[in-house]
Structure 1
Amino acid sequence: MRISERIFLVGSGKHGHEMTHRLDCNVYLLDGGSELALIDAGSGLAPDQIVANIERNGFDMTKVKKLLLTHVHGDHGGGAYFFHKEYGLEVIASTEATPWLERGDKEKTSIGAAIAAGVYPEDYHYPPCPVARSVSEGDRISVGELELEVLETPGHSRGHVSFVLEHDGVRTLFAGDVVFAGGKVVIQNIWDCFIGEYADSLDKLSRRRFDRLFSGHGPFLLSEAWRHIELADAAFKRLDIPPNL
Structure 2
Amino acid sequence: MQINERMMLVGSGKYGSLISDSMDCNVYLLDGGAECALIDAGGGVDPQRIVANIEKAGIAMARVKYLLLTHAHADHAAGAAFFQTRYGMQVIAANEAVPWLEQADMDKTSFNAAKRGGVYAPDFQFPGCAIARGVSENESIQIGELALKVLETPGHSRGHVSFLLEHEGRKALFAGDTIFAGGKVVIQNIWDCSIQDYAETVAKLHSLHIDSLMPGHGPFLVNEAWRHVEMAQNCFNRLDVPPNL
Partner SS, residue 205 of structure 2? helix
Give yes or no for the alignment of 1:147 onto 2:147. Answer: yes
Deviations 1:95-132 (A, max 9, x none): 00000000111101111011111110111111010100
5+ residue gaps, structure 1, are none
- Provide the TM-score with structure 2 as the length reference: 0.99
Q: Map 1:173-212 onto structure 2 (within 5 A).
A: 173-212=173-212
| Partners of 1:72 and 1:52 in 2: CA distance | 24
Deviation at 1:156, TM superposition (A): 0.2
Deviations 1:44-100 (A, max 9, x none): 110000000000000100010000000010000000000000000000000000000
What's the counterpart of residue 219 of structure 2? 219
Give yes or no for the alignment of 1:11 onto 2:11. Answer: yes
Deviation at 1:5, TM superposition (A): 1.3
| Partners of 1:36 and 1:5 in 2: CA distance | 12
Q: Map 1:150-161 onto structure 2 (within 5 A).
A: 150-161=150-161
Give yes or no for the alignment of 1:162 onto 2:162. Answer: yes
| Partners of 1:4 and 1:69 in 2: CA distance | 21
| Partners of 2:104 and 2:20 in 1: CA distance | 23
Deviations 1:12-48 (A, max 9, x none): 0000001111110000000000100000000011000
Partner SS, residue 241 of structure 1? coil
| Partners of 1:92 and 1:200 in 2: CA distance | 24
What's the counterpart of residue 64 of structure 1? 64
Give yes or no for the alignment of 1:230 onto 2:239. Answer: no
Aligned length, in residue pairs: 245
Deviation at 1:147, TM superposition (A): 0.1
What's the counterpart of residue 43 of structure 1? 43
| Partners of 2:21 and 2:236 in 1: CA distance | 33
What's the counterpart of residue 85 of structure 1? 85
Q: Give percent identity, aligned residues only.
A: 61
Deviation at 1:242, TM superposition (A): 0.1
What's the counterpart of residue 31 of structure 1? 31
Deviation at 1:4, TM superposition (A): 1.0
Partner SS, residue 165 of structure 1? strand
| Partners of 2:244 and 2:107 in 1: CA distance | 23
| Partners of 1:182 and 1:13 in 2: CA distance | 19
What's the counterpart of residue 114 of structure 2? 114
| CA RMSD across the alignment | 0.4
5+ residue gaps, structure 2, are none
Give the letter aligned to residue 7 of structure 1.
Answer: M
| Partners of 1:38 and 1:146 in 2: CA distance | 13
| Partners of 2:45 and 2:3 in 1: CA distance | 24
| Partners of 1:192 and 1:122 in 2: CA distance | 23
| Partners of 2:57 and 2:64 in 1: CA distance | 13
| Partners of 1:202 and 1:164 in 2: CA distance | 14
What's the counterpart of residue 172 of structure 1? 172
Give the letter aligned to residue 138 of structure 1.
Answer: N
- Provide the TM-score with structure 1 as the length reference: 0.99
Give yes or no for the alignment of 1:127 onto 2:127. Answer: yes
Give the letter aligned to residue 109 of structure 1.
Answer: T
Partner SS, residue 155 of structure 2? coil
